Amino acid sequence: MRIFDLSVIRTAAAAGVLTFAHTLHAGVVEGQSRAEVIAVLGEPIGEVILEDRAIWFFDRGELTLRDDRVSAVNLRSEEEHRAAVERRRAAIEREQRRQAEAEAALEAEGRAILARRQADEAFHNASGLYQLTYWRQFQQRYPMVPIADELALATARYQEEERYRRELAAAREAEYRRLEAESRISDAERRAAEAESEARHLQRELNRRPVFIRTIPVWITPPEKEQNQPNQAPDQTGPTTGRGLEIQTSNRRLEGPGSGSFTPPATDRVRIIPHGTPDSSSRSQRTAHPQAPIRAVPRS
């Protein structure tokens, strides 16, 4: 056994850190190296490194080392260590018994609530969403109480209600679209009826007015024909090289015989010759014939 210096023991006692008996039971004294400490106590279970020292932790206490030498010892003796271990074990057992009693009471409370809910008619008539939410919260509070059947029934009911809600929403959407389409059709029919009524009104207004029609023979002289006769008088027609036709004009439309509406081409020059022939060239021939009469034709 190591022989201790009285000065070391006296210093430790004065500081109130250790007693000689405590040091003997611990088996570690100040001044020992790291290797000597590990040889007596084994590897530390924890270590804290500070700027000028290190603190080692063991089941029996702690040591402080400076420059790799023990500078302070705070270790329990074997008897103290065994007593501390026994106290800790007893405390753990008491806590375990307390937790077991609390869990038993919680389980009894949960089973009582479960029995009441199973007999509650109003709860059974509640929505699937409400029941599913309730049983999920119940499972979190009373995990030791089995409620697998209740969860399965609530889930199935909730899924059925969701399916019915989706079908109802789809039916409402279809009905809304149908009514919207009918509304658009009604609006279109109303606008068409208004347009038709307006057209009939305009037609009646038009029928009240007389229609003036007169037949006019027309000679169309191509532009190239006029370029070939620069000395011809403006009010005379040249030789018969163009096309002749007879049209009817009125205050409604310009029509050609058998050809519907007629509009002279933009590149032609139209000259109206009252009752003249296409090859007439003298003013006397054209003016010898009176202008075509104007007839007022009432609308039927």
The CA-based diameter of the chain, rounded to the nearest angstrom, is: 169
Token pair recorded at residue 121 = 């008619």
Torsion of CA 31, 35, 41, 46, to 10 degrees: 100
In a domain, 21, yes or no: yes
Residue 146: predicted pLDDT: 94
Dihedral of alpha carbons 231, 233, 234, 236, sign? negative
- C-alpha distances in Å from residue 94, one per residue of 84, 106, 107, 108, 230: 15, 18, 20, 21, 136
Please tell me the distance from the alpha carbon of residue 48 to that of residue 221, in angstroms, as a whole number: 122
pLDDT < 70 regions, the chain = 1-26, 209-300
By residue count, the chain amounts to 300
Predicted pLDDT at 138: 95
pLDDT value at position 223? 55
| Structural domain boundaries, residue 21 | 6-76
Summarised one tens digit per residue, pLDDT across range 161-183 is: 999 999 999 999 999 998 888 88
Residue 49 CA to residue 43 CA, distance in Å, equals 16
Rounded CA-CA distance 275/258 in Å is 20
Query: Which are the contacts of 4, defined by CB distance < 8 A and separation ≥ 6?
Result: 20, 23, 29
pLDDT for res 298: 45
**Residue 46 within any structural domain of the chain:** yes
pLDDT of residue 292: 45
Q: Taking all residues of the chain, what is their mean pLDDT, rounded to a whole number?
A: 73
- Tell me whether residue 109 is in a domain: no
* H-helix segments, 56-147: 78-118, 121-124, 128-141
In degrees and rounded to multiples of 5, residue 156 shows phi and psi of -65, -40
pLDDT in tens, 222-232: 555 555 555 55
Residue 43 forms part of a structural domain:
yes
d(CA 22, CA 160): 76
Residue 67 domain flag: yes
Contact 52, 40 (CB under 8 A): no
| Residues 260-300: tens digit of each pLDDT | 444 444 433 444 444 444 444 444 343 334 444 444 444 44
Instruction: Give a yes or no: residue 61 inside a domain.
Output: yes
Beta bridge partners of 65: 54, 70
Q: Is residue 60 part of a domain?
A: yes
223: Cα within 13 Å, side-chain hemisphere: 4
> Per the domain annotation, does 16 fall within a domain?
yes
CA distances from 20 to 24, 50, 84 (A): 6, 28, 21
- Contacts with 266 (C-beta within 8 Å, 6 or more apart), sequence order: none
Our count of domains for the chain comes to: 1
